[in-house]
Structure 1
Amino acid sequence: MTQPVSAAPLRRTLGVGDAVVVGLGSMVGAGIFAALGPAAHAAGSGLLLGLALAAVVAYCNAMSSARLAALYPASGGTYVYGRERLGAFWGYLAGWSFVVGKTASCAAMALTVGAYVWPEQAHAVAVAAVVALTAVNYGGIQKSAWLTRAIVAVVLAVLAAVVVVCLTSGRSDAGRLDIGASGGVGGVLQAAGLLFFAFAGYARIATLGEEVRDPARTIPRAIPLALGIALVVYAAVAVAVLSVLGSGGLGQASAPLAEAVRAAGAPGLVPVVRVGAAVAALGSLLALILGVSRTTLAMARDRHLPGVLAAVHPRFQVPHRAELAVGAVVAVLAATVDVRGAIGFSSFGVLAYYAVANASAWTLSSAPVSRIVPVVGLVGCVVVAFALPWVSVAVGAAVLGAGATAYFVRRWWHRRGGAGQ
Structure 2
Amino acid sequence: MPLKKDLGFLDIFCIGTGAMISSGLFVLPGILYALVGPGVFLGYLLAAVLLLPALVSKAELATALPKTGGDYFFVDRSLGPTFGMLAGVAAWASLALKTAFALLGLGAFARLLWPGLSLLEARLVALGFCVLFTLVNLWGAKHAGRLQIGLVAVLLVLLCGYVVAGMGKIEASRYTPLLPHGVNAVMVGAAMAFVSFGGLTKVASVAEEVKDPGRNLPLGMFVSGAVVAVAYVAVTLVTVGVVPGDVLSGSLTPISLGGEALWPKVGLVAMSAAAILAFVSTANAGILAASRTPMAMSRDGLLPGFFGRVGERRGTPHYAILFTAAFIGASLFMDLALFIKSASAMKILLFGFSIVALILLRESRVATYQPKFRSPLYPWLHAAGIVAYVFLLIELGSLPLLVAGGILGTGMVWYALYAKTRVARESALAHLAQRIASRTLGGHDLEAELAQIVRTRDGGVDDRFDRLVRDCVILDLEGAVSRDDLFRSVAEKLAWRLDLPPAEILRLLEEREELSSTVIRPGLAIPHIVVEGTGRFDVLLARIREGTPFTPDAEPVRTVFVLIGSKDERNYHLRALAAVAEIAQDSHFD
Matched with 1:192 is 190
Matched residue, 2:272? 274
Match of 1:327 among 309, 325, 328: 325
Match of residue 143 from structure 1:
143
| Counterpart residue number, 2:515 | none
Residue 350 of structure 2 corresponds to 353
Q: Secondary structure at the match of 2:313?
A: coil
* Residue pairs, 1:401-416, within 5 angstroms: 401-410=409-418
- AA in 1 matched with 2:406: A
Change (3 A) 1:133 1:83: same
**Alignment-mate amino acid for residue 155 of structure 1:** L
CA distance in 2, matches of 1:267, 1:196: 34
Structure 2 distance, partners of 1:313, 1:292, is 17
Post-superposition offset of 1:193: 2.1
Q: Which amino acid aligns with 1:13?
A: D
Q: Does 1:9 align with 2:5?
A: no
Q: Does 1:377 align with 2:374?
A: no
Equivalent-residue separation in structure 2 for 1:250 and 1:365 (angstroms): 47
Structure-1 separation of matches of 2:140 and 2:376? 42
Q: What SS does structure 2 have at the residue aligned with 1:252? A: coil
**Kindly tell me: are residues 264 and 252 of structure 1, through their superposed partners in 2, closer, same or farther at Cα, counting changes over 3 Å?**
farther
Are residues 225 and 342 of structure 1, via their aligned partners in 2, closer, same or farther at CA, if it must alter by over 3 Å?
Answer: same
Please tell me whether the aligned partners of residues 70 and 216 of structure 1 are also in contact (alpha carbons under 8 angstroms).
yes
Question: When the two structures are superposed, what TM-score results if normalisation uses the length of structure 2?
Answer: 0.65
Mapped partners of 1:158, 1:340: distance in 2: 28
**2: distance between equivalents of 1:243 and 1:33?**
16
After TM superposition, list the pairs within 5 Å mapping 1:3-402 onto structure 2: 8-118=1-111, 119-120=117-118, 121-169=121-169, 172-178=170-176, 180-245=178-243, 249-264=247-262, 266-334=264-332, 336-365=333-362, 369-402=377-410
- Indicate the residue corresponding to 2:505 in structure 1: none
Distance in 2 (alpha carbons) for counterparts of 1:390 and 1:258: 33
Higher helix share: 1
Question: For residues 364 and 175 of structure 1, do their structure 2 counterparts lie closer, same or farther at Cα, with a shift above 3 Å needed?
Answer: farther
Percent identity, aligned pairs only, is 28
**Residues 348-382 of structure 1 deviation map (CA, whole Å, 9 limit, x = unaligned):** 11111111111112224459941122222222222
**Could you say which structure has the greater relative contact order, defined with CA pairs below 8 angstroms and 6 or more residues apart?**
1
CA distance in 1, matches of 2:378, 2:421: 40
Structure 1's 147 and 265: CA in aligned 2 closer, same or farther, altered over 3 A?
A: closer
Query: Residues 319 and 213 from structure 1, CA distance in 2 versus in 1: closer, same or farther, beyond 3 angstroms?
Result: same
**Distance across 1 between alignment mates of 2:250 and 2:379:** 41
Matches of 1:293 and 1:412, distance apart in 2: 22
C-alpha distance in structure 2 between counterparts of 1:300 and 1:186, whole Å = 43
Q: What is the deviation of 1:275?
A: 1.3
Whether the 8 Å contact between 1:53 and 1:192 is mirrored in structure 2 is yes
Alpha carbons 2:44, 2:189 under 8 Å: kept = yes
Q: How many residues align?
A: 405
Q: TM-score, normalised by structure 1?
A: 0.90
Q: 1:45, CA displacement in angstroms?
A: 4.2
In structure 2, what is the Cα distance between the partners aligned to 1:282 and 1:380? 32
Secondary structure, in 3 states, of the residue corresponding to 2:378? helix
1:74 match: secondary structure: coil
3-state SS of paired residue (1:53):
helix
How big is the shift at 1:177?
3.5
Q: Given the superposition, is the C-alpha separation of residues 411 and 283 from structure 1 closer, same or farther in structure 2, using an over 3 Å criterion?
A: closer
CA distance in 2, matches of 1:293, 1:58: 24
Task: Work out the CA distance in 2 between the residues paired with 1:185 and 1:303.
Answer: 48
- Distance in 1, matches of 2:327 and 2:197, equals 24
Secondary structure of 2:288 counterpart: helix
Q: Which moved more, 1:253-262 or 1:44-53?
A: 44-53
Kept in 1, the 8 Å contact 2:27–2:251? The answer is no
**In 1, Cα distance between equivalents of 2:340 and 2:204:** 21
The residue type paired with residue 303 of structure 1 is: G
Name the aligned partner's letter for residue 7 of structure 2: L
Q: Say which is worse superposed, 214-223 or 243-252, in terms of deviation.
A: 243-252
> Which residue identity is paired with 2:254?
P
Distance 1:404 1:41, change over 3 A: farther
| Partners of 2:61 and 2:228 in 1: CA distance | 22
- The whole-number CA distance in structure 2 between the counterparts of 1:221 and 1:412 is 38
Q: Which moved more, 1:241-250 or 1:256-265?
A: 241-250
- 212-221 vs 359-368, which deviates more? 359-368
Question: C-alpha separation between the residues in 2 aligned to 1:125 and 1:318?
Answer: 26
Is the 1:49–1:179 Cα contact (8 Å) retained in structure 2? no
2:15 and 2:285 in contact (8 A); partners too: yes
Return the alpha-carbon distance in structure 1 between the equivalents of residues 273 and 340 of structure 2: 21
Secondary structure of the residue aligned to 1:314 is coil
Gaps of 5+ in 1: 1-7, 416-421
Deviates more, 1:403-412 or 1:224-233: 403-412
1:220-264 alpha-carbon deviations (Å, 9 max, x no partner): 211111101111111110111111236664332221011223334
Greater shift in the superposed pair: 290-299 or 183-192: 183-192
**Alignment partners' CA distance in 1, 2:9 and 2:257:** 36
Matched residue type, 2:345: F
Distance in structure 2 (CA, Å) of the matches to 1:258 and 1:39: 16
Long gaps (5+) in structure 2: 112-116, 364-374, 424-590
